[in-house]
């Protein structure tokens, strides 16, 4: 799978059911070459502005399933 394919998928929290956003980047380990984190752009508008944060880091361990159209994650780890 390519990064461009990940970027087209919505990232959804399986616990709350809310859409977190879309993948904009990944963090890769220099030692292993494995993906460590996905950086997701949080498009919540006003809430995002109030928090002063529009990017969310999702660790590889938080990813539950990568489907055809969506990436399911659990941020409660």
Domains annotated for the chain, with CATH where assigned, are: 3-73 (2.30.30.240)
Q: Give me 13's structure tokens.
A: 């929290």
Check residue 32 and report its DSSP letter.
Answer: T
Question: What is the per-residue pLDDT for 44?
Answer: 59
**CA nearest 20: which of 43, 47, 52, 53?**
43
* Angle, vertex CA 25, rays to CA 6 and CA 19, nearest 5: 60
- Residue listed under structure tokens 């859409």: 19
Q: pLDDT tens digits, residue range 43-59?
A: 655 455 555 567 889 99
**pLDDT top residue among 5 and 70:** 70
pTM for the whole structure? 0.78
| 21-39 pLDDT per residue, tens | 999 889 999 999 999 999 9
């Amino acid at each position: 799978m390519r990064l461009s394919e990940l970027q087209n998928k919505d990232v959804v929290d399986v616990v709350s059911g809310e859409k977190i956003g879309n993948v904009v980047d990944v963090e890769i380990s220099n030692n292993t070459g494995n993906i460590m984190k996905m950086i997701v752009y949080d498009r919540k508008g006003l809430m995002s502005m109030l928090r002063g944060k529009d990017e969310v880091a999702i660790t590889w361990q938080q990813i539950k399933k990568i489907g055809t159209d969506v990436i399911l994650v659990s941020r409660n780890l």
